[in-house]
Structure 1
Amino acid sequence: MPQAPIDAYSWPTPNGHKVHIMLEECGLPYRAHPVNIGKGDQFEPGFLAISPNNKIPAITDPQGPDGKPISLFESGAILVYLAGKTGKFLPEGDRARYEVLQWLMFQMGSVGPMLGQAHHFRIYAPEKLAYAIDRYSNEAKRLYGVIDKQLSRNKFIAGRTYSIADIAIFPWLRSWENQGIVLTDYPHLKEWFDGIAARPAVQRGVQVLAEHRKPIRDEKEREILFGKTQYQRR
């Protein structure tokens, strides 16, 4: 039976792009539904029903593992699910599989949160706090160094083959300038980055919903993204 389209509820952010790229790489049919996080779409009951943490992305697959629909949130979990569904980009062997998963967790636990904070305090914070800017900019440089060292010994993040670890990390490094990074300081990372960026599926993935993303335009959007609205109990 042909695969029914997967519904991807997302926005053109690094976490959103992870899933867009994975869907493109796997060749799965899907429909991308914009969840405008600047307008507060992430707090709508319909979205919260599938993403209770009110964060994008989330997916609904009408043909889940048991043939019944399944909804998932958290981008890392979605990558693991899609890899399991298609048998792509996550090795079957235990050793190689755990190599990939540890680098996926590295992205989820370090690269995303820390580079997100670097973005916030360097670009979006209404008050420029030198301590915060220095702290997260330095952490960004440290993380780039970790990745560069890993890529000095491996063609891809988790070894010799392209995997969900590469798919997870790449979108977060696309804004390296905003993170205070000089990419040429990390030659192994830069070579890898340029190679990933040249992949046709990656190029398609980062264009998904891209036309919807605009700079923060007013204080209402800023408040929704960074103010009290996001902390309300729902």
Structure 2
Amino acid sequence: MAGKLKIRLKQALLKSSIYFMLAAAKYYIANNIIAKMPIESVRKAYYRRIMGVSIGNDTHLSMRIFLTGYHSRCQVAIGDNCVINRDIYLDGRAGVYIGNNVNVSFQACLLSLHHDHNDPNFSAIGAPVVIQDHAWIGARAMILPGVVVGEGAVVAAGAVVTRSVPDYAVVGGVPARVIGQRNRDLTYVTNFSPFFDTDIFDESHAKSS
């Protein structure tokens, strides 16, 4: 009985414009109020508890991150020791999954959904974006739906990545292609937590960690 009542309630909610307005309000608050707050712990608490974003340990999220997703969920998961810089677009509709020790530079766009330009109905299509451990996404790079950026790979600034990137490859250009290889002997652990909307941080603490 309780199960049927729950299903009916859910069906009624999905027919209500108020439900969708409230869902939209979560995103509006996240992107226009929370994202501009200078206290990172407050931003993270909202993203985790209200938006359902998974954020790992010792991961830094800068101000002015833009999140999008569906009314029912925002499929974004970020691992440990990552740096997600300012003005990043994270498309949680089909999903964005980021590993550990990943650096995403400012104004990068991780896009998991777009439109089929050949479809008469202009239908939406997409697939999750996956960024594996120790990858580095350069400033203003764009990662398109379904792309997997391999372990330790580097996406150069301004690149448009339309296909998956092999482990430890360096890609650049529009569309991106392999332009080099990265050293595979990576031992660093990202530890960067600046104050407010700056690049100033306690370097002595970082060196001792």
User: What TM bracket, shorter-length normalisation?
Assistant: under 0.3
Higher strand share: 2
Normalised to the residue count of structure 1, the TM-score between the two structures is 0.25
Higher helix share: 1
Q: Which has the higher contact order (CA 8 A, sep 6+)?
A: 1
Normalised to the residue count of structure 2, the TM-score between the two structures is 0.27
